[in-house]
């Protein structure tokens, strides 16, 4: 029989619901404790899931000897410190995106993980979507020939209230950016994961519609160059009237792939095929993807068996570096080298 890992969820806001629901459905885990600086949120979640303990101070979660795995579901600027402290104390950490706001913070997390001898995973759950898995297999198979370029687009809607009711969203200090680092990060992650290492970026960031409520960008467009001069385009905005399906297209010398929401069009060997990858179970809002539950289950399996978790710190670090370069480019209006490449 598997020994159930004792889970702690720090931050009992919107996304914690996805983590708690997923954990509640897993036999590998039990929800041992929840924590929030706003006590009533922790109490509410704690009562719903009949936890053993409720904390207001995350440091007490980290020093609780019963806790095996910590889920970090707090504002962006807290991820780096909380994760590094938890990892150094020997706790496995599953951290919400973004991994951290700076490469320096991300490196400190990796150092703490290695010192603690534990697993660190980041929630890029859309990598687990069935459509994403298919696209990755196609790209890795080499069936489409050489990569020439790709593009992706996220046109969503965030109302002023989304920011007004939150002390950290919309602020450079708390969120570290706007539509790019919070909403579109998943699609940019998919774009780079499916294609190539990004060497250089030229970006425009602007606040077009939400200027009266946020200081960060609500719109971004990026031209990116890959290691072999592949050209990638990315556009994201929170100024649209709805959360439209994400679009992503990859052009190769021998064919192409196109994703629209969960629909995939493949052009290969002179034939065009269409497939619908809409999966049955969706935790939370469908435009976040249905992968949260699958990702969390996989993380616990990795903790149990010692298999390295696929959405590792090294994988997520690529996005930390890329985002730093994009924001620098957007703010300075110059092209910026990312200097990471693949791996």
Ligand X SMILES: NC(=O)c1ccc[n+]([C@@H]2O[C@H](COP(=O)([O-])OP(=O)(O)OC[C@H]3O[C@@H](n4cnc5c(N)ncnc54)[C@H](O)[C@@H]3O)[C@@H](O)[C@H]2O)c1
Question: Residues interacting with ligand X, by CB under 6 A?
Answer: 10-16, 35-38, 41, 58, 73-76, 78, 96-97, 123, 125, 166, 182, 288
248: DSSP letter: E
Tokens 């001898």 belong to 117
Q: Which residue is nearest to ligand X (CB)?
A: 13
- Establish whether the linkage from the previous residue to 98 is cis, with ω within 30° of 0: yes
Number of Cα atoms under 13 Å in the Cβ half of residue 174:
11
With respect to ligand X, which residue has the nearer C-beta, 36 or 64?
A: 36
Structure tokens at 47: 């009562």
Tokens 């680092």 belong to 181
Taking the complex as a whole, how short is the minimal distance between the CB of residue 181 and ligand X, in angstroms? 8
* Burial of 167 per CB tally in 10 Å (0-12, 13-18, 19+): exposed
Rounded Cα gap, residues 71 and 128, in angstroms: 18
Taking the complex as a whole, how short is the minimal distance between the CB of residue 66 and ligand X, in angstroms? 18
With respect to ligand X, which residue has the nearer C-beta, 193 or 225?
A: 193
Taking the complex as a whole, how short is the minimal distance between the CB of residue 183 and ligand X, in angstroms? 8
Closest by CA position to 314, among listed 193, 144, 178: 193
Taking the complex as a whole, how short is the minimal distance between the CB of residue 246 and ligand X, in angstroms? 12
Q: How far is CA 291 from the centre of its chain?
A: 11
Taking the complex as a whole, how short is the minimal distance between the CB of residue 341 and ligand X, in angstroms? 26
Burial 40-51 (b: 16+ CB within 10 A, else e): ebbbebbeebeb
With respect to ligand X, which residue has the nearer C-beta, 75 or 149?
A: 75
Taking the complex as a whole, how short is the minimal distance between the CB of residue 16 and ligand X, in angstroms? 6
With respect to ligand X, which residue has the nearer C-beta, 49 or 225?
A: 49
Farthest CA pair distance, the chain: 60
Taking the complex as a whole, how short is the minimal distance between the CB of residue 45 and ligand X, in angstroms? 9
With respect to ligand X, which residue has the nearer C-beta, 138 or 205?
A: 205
Rounded Cα gap, residues 38 and 22, in angstroms: 23
With respect to ligand X, which residue has the nearer C-beta, 101 or 264?
A: 101
Q: Cα dihedral sign for 188, 118, 54, 51?
A: positive
With respect to ligand X, which residue has the nearer C-beta, 57 or 229?
A: 57
With respect to ligand X, which residue has the nearer C-beta, 11 or 293?
A: 11
Q: Cα dihedral sign for 39, 119, 91, 322?
A: negative
Helix axes of 76-88 and 103-116: crossing angle, nearest 10 degrees: 20
Rounded Cα gap, residues 100 and 108, in angstroms: 10
Taking the complex as a whole, how short is the minimal distance between the CB of residue 166 and ligand X, in angstroms? 5
């Amino acid at each position: 029989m598997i020994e159930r890992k004792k889970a702690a969820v720090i931050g009992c806001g919107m996304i914690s619901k996805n983590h708690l629901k997923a954990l509640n459905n897993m036999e590998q885990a039990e929800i041992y404790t929840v924590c929030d600086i706003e006590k009533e949120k922790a109490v509410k979640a704690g009562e719903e899931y009949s936890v053993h303990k409720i904390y207001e101070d995350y440091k007490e979660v980290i020093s609780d000897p019963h806790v095996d795995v910590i889920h970090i579901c707090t504002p962006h600027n807290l991820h780096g410190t909380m994760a590094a402290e938890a990892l150094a104390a020997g706790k496995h950490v599953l951290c919400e995106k973004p991994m951290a706001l700076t490469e320096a913070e991300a490196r400190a997390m990796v150092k703490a993980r290695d010192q603690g001898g534990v697993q660190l995973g980041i929630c890029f759950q859309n990598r687990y979507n069935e459509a994403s898995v298919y696209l990755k297999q196609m790209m890795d198979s080499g069936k489409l020939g050489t990569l020439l370029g790709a593009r992706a687009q996220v046109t969503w809607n965030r109302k002023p209230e989304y920011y007004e009711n939150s002390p950290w969203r919309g602020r450079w200090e708390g969120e570290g950016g706007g539509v790019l680092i919070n909403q579109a990060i998943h699609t940019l992650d998919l774009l780079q994961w499916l294609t190539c290492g990004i060497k250089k970026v030229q970006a425009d960031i602007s606040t077009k519609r939400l200027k009266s409520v946020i200081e960060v960008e609500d719109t971004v467009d990026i031209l990116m160059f890959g290691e072999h001069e592949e050209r990638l385009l990315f556009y994201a905005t929170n100024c649209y009237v709805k959360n439209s399906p994400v679009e992503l297209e990859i052009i190769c010398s021998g064919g192409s792939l196109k994703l629209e929401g969960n629909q995939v069009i493949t052009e290969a060997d002179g034939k065009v095929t269409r497939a619908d990858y809409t999966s049955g179970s969706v935790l939370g809002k469908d435009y976040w993807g249905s992968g949260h539950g699958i990702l969390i289950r996989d993380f616990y399996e990795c903790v149990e068996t010692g298999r390295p978790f696929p959405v590792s710190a090294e994988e997520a670090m690529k996005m930390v570096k890329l985002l730093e370069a994009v924001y620098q480019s957007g703010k300075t209006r110059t092209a910026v080298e990312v200097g990471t490449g693949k791996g």
